Structures are given as structure tokens and as C-alpha cells.
């Protein structure tokens, strides 16, 4: 069965790092929200866009466009018989529900990996990212709290949402996710 794997959570929790590593390990394409968002805005993915939380290209309307475009791209991959990884905050339950519907439409399974790690690790990562000219993310510490308050609840008791501790070594996290995805084939 084809799969859509959504790697989501707060900024700085390692979503993009995990998405890239998992995509490489499995040979699956990855659609990154930051790259899609900036492309839609006519910007290079590495162009810094430090706006206030929920403003500009990070406002609700632009976010709907971004996640709509990600769904469209995911649908193309599924239609071609490919699995796909989606990387973004997916802070709205409605965004997650739209992926579930897309998966049903293509007779695929949707799996959500909710990335989390200690706050001090998030802060360190955001500080490192702020100094990286190749970073495509605009996430930064001064808007982290606002994003956390604005994040729709995540029900980790649901069978399609897996909590992932991204404070562990990346190879161990990737192997654990690959193992869990492999177990899905046996069910």
C-alpha cells in the first residue's frame, strides 16, 4: 500500500532533518512546506523572511495555499505510484484531516510523525539555524511560544499518529521509523 508520511510539530523539533534523512533512506520524495511557501511567494527557498508570527507568507491565507499546494504535489506522487513524505508544522487539525482524505482518495495509508524534543534542544537548534545562510526555515525563538499556543491539539492515542523523540541520534530515529513503517506491511 502506498503511504503519505507527514512529519510535523513545532519549529526546531527536527522535522526537516528527519524528513530529509528518511526520504534518503527510503528513496521517497519529500515535499517541504518552507520551500513550497517561498516558491509560491516568488522567493528563493533560502531567502530569509523574518515576519511577525502569523503575518505575511505565514498568515492563515498563505498557509492554506501552501498546504493546498503540498497536497497537490503529494497527489501527483501518489498517482504515479510513489510514496511521499510531507514536512511541515501541520499545526491545524484540518490540515492533517486533508492529508487523511488525500490518502483515502488514492487508497494510501497516512502516517503522522509528531516530532518533539526538550525545549532547550529546540532553542539550540533555532540558534544554529539562525546563523545558517542555507536554511530555508524562518522559525526562530521569539515566535516559538506563539506557535505553541496556536497549535491545534495532537492526539497521540490515535493509531496513525506516532510520537517521535527527535532528541535522539538521527540514525536511531530513522531506523525506528523504518521499523515501524515495515511493521505496517505485516498488519
Cell digits for 106?
A: 488514492
When the candidates are 3.40.50.2020, 3.40.50.300, 3.40.50.920, 3.50.50.60, the CATH number that belongs to 2-186 is 3.40.50.300
- Helix, coil or strand: residue 161: strand
pTM: 0.92
DSSP structure string for 104-167: HHTTEEEEEEEEE--HHHHHHHHHHHHT-TT------HHHHHHHHHTSPP--TTSTTEEEEETT
Q: What is the pLDDT of residues 120-177, one digit of tens each?
A: 898 888 888 777 767 767 676 777 888 989 999 999 999 999 999 999 999 999 999 9
The pLDDT value recorded for residue 175 is: 96
Amino acid at each position: 500500500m502506498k503511504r503519505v508520511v507527514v512529519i510535523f510539530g513545532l519549529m526546531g523539533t527536527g522535522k526537516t532533518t528527519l524528513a530529509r534523512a528518511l526520504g534518503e533512506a527510503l528513496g521517497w520524495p519529500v515535499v517541504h512546506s518552507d520551500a513550497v511557501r517561498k516558491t509560491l511567494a516568488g522567493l528563493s527557498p533560502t531567502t530569509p523572511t523574518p515576519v511577525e508570527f502569523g503575518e505575511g507568507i505565514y498568515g492563515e491565507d498563505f498557509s492554506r495555499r501552501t498546504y493546498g499546494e503540498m497536497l497537490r504535489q503529494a497527489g501527483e506522487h501518489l498517482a504515479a505510484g510513489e510514496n511521499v513524505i510531507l514536512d511541515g508544522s501541520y499545526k491545524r487539525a484540518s490540515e492533517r484531516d486533508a492529508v487523511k482524505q488525500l490518502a483515502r482518495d488514492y487508497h494510501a495509508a497516512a502516517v503522522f510523525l509528531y516530532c518533539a524534543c526538550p525545549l532547550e534542544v529546540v532553542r539550540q537548534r533555532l540558534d544554529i539555524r539562525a546563523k545558517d545562510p542555507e536554511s530555508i526555515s524562518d522559525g526562530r525563538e521569539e515566535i516559538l511560544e506563539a506557535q505553541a499556543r496556536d497549535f491545534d491539539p495532537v492526539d497521540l492515542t490515535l493509531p496513525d499518529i506516532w510520537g517521535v523523540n527527535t532528541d535522539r541520534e538521527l540514525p536511531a530515529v530513522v531506523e525506528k521509523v523504518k521499523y515501524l513503517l515495515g511493521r505496517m506491511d505485516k498488519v
